[in-house]
């Protein structure tokens, strides 16, 4: 084994340990935690803006907004009504890790949270290897990216529990086929849930809210 691989393995196992700790805390406090991953520009922040506007009075929502350089996304989420939004600027790193998350959560009383959303850095490669102690990874892809995304980034689709296909208002403007993207994604992970939405028109977004309600309820049940 080369030295680099050994170091990488050590980093990952330390991450697993911390992630398990985080996951335990979430379960104990009845917090549904989601790790949202996508390529840059798929619409993670737009999805979260919509979600906050729709559900901020129904649930207590906390958001960690990961970004490589700026705090712009966090600002948008605060404007959308986010009461607890933390920008997590990685300063160049292309993924978040469990240590960063536990640092951000130091000042948050998890008893007062129903839903924790972690917006990961826009990247479908290494975020798939870093467990953040989440209940589930949610992968967002968008129609302009093409229907072969799941084949290009199999690791991410294998490790996600839900795939959201955003920008369905752009269907018909390219060769993108919804049937093909679903087939490709399910060939990687037959248990994947799939939702089709357009953040721009709002089409299909109610199903995402229902999905959240269902999973928040389940998480609460498990904690008591």
Q: Residue numbers of the site for Mg ion (CB under 5 A)?
A: 44-45, 73
| Comparison of 35 and 45: residue with beta carbon closer to Mg ion | 45
Dihedral angle, C-alpha 214, 164, 28, 16, nearest 10 °: 160
CB-based contacts of 157: which residues, under 8 Å, 6+ apart? 139, 150, 163, 185, 188, 189, 192
- Contact of residue 73 among Mg ion, Zn ion, none (CB under 5-8 Å per partner type): Mg ion
137 touching Zn ion, by CB under 5 A: no
Among 94, 148, 183, 206, binds Zn ion (CB under 5 A): 94
CA angle 160, 164, 169 (to 5 degrees): 160
Among 50, 86, 95, 159, binds Zn ion (CB under 5 A): 95
| Comparison of 123 and 219: residue with beta carbon closer to Mg ion | 123
44 touching Zn ion, by CB under 5 A: no
Q: Please, are residues 117 and 62 in contact by the beta-carbon 8 Å criterion? A: yes
Distances (CA, A) of 160 to 118, 128, 138, 183, 185: 14, 9, 6, 15, 10
Quick one: which segment of 64-72, 74-82, 91-99, 201-209 binds Zn ion (CB under 5 A)?
Answer: 91-99
Q: Is the dihedral of CA 49, 72, 128, 114 positive or negative?
A: negative
- Contact of residue 186 among Zn ion, Mg ion, none (CB under 5-8 Å per partner type): none
159 touching Zn ion, by CB under 5 A: no
Question: Least distance in Å: CB of 45 to Mg ion?
Answer: 3
- Contact of residue 45 among Mg ion, Zn ion, none (CB under 5-8 Å per partner type): Mg ion
Q: How many CB atoms lie within 10 A of CB 205?
A: 20
- Contact of residue 126 among Zn ion, Mg ion, none (CB under 5-8 Å per partner type): Zn ion
- Contact of residue 94 among Zn ion, Mg ion, none (CB under 5-8 Å per partner type): Zn ion
Strand ranges in 57-119 using DSSP code E only, listed in sequence order: 61-67, 84-89, 115-119
Question: Least distance in Å: CB of 71 to Zn ion?
Answer: 20
Question: Least distance in Å: CB of 108 to Zn ion?
Answer: 25
| Comparison of 44 and 159: residue with beta carbon closer to Mg ion | 44
- Contact of residue 142 among Zn ion, Mg ion, none (CB under 5-8 Å per partner type): none
Distance CA 166, CA 97 (A): 26
């Amino acid at each position: 084994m080369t030295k680099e691989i050994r170091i990488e393995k050590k980093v990952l196992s330390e991450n697993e340990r911390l992630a398990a700790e985080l996951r335990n805390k979430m379960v104990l406090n009845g917090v549904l935690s989601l790790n949202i991953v996508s390529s840059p520009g798929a619409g993670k922040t737009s999805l979260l803006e919509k979600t906050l506007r729709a559900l901020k009075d129904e649930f207590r929502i906390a958001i960690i907004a990961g970004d490589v350089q700026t705090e712009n996304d966090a600002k948008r989420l605060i404007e959308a009504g986010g009461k607890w939004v933390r920008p997590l600027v990685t300063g160049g790193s292309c993924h978040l890790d469990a240590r960063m998350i536990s640092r951000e959560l130091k000042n948050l009383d998890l008893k007062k949270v129903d839903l924790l959303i972690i917006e990961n850095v826009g990247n479908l490669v290494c975020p798939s290897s870093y467990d953040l102690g989440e209940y589930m990874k949610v992968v967002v892809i968008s129609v302009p990216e093409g229907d072969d995304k799941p084949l290009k980034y199999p690791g991410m689709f294998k490790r996600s529990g839900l795939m959201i296909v955003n920008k369905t208002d752009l269907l018909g403007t390219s060769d993108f086929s919804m049937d093909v993207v679903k087939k490709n994604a399910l060939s990687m992970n037959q248990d994947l849930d799939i939702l089709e939405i357009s953040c721009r028109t709002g089409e299909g977004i109610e199903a995402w809210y229902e999905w959240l309600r269902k999973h928040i309820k389940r998480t609460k049940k498990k904690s008591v």
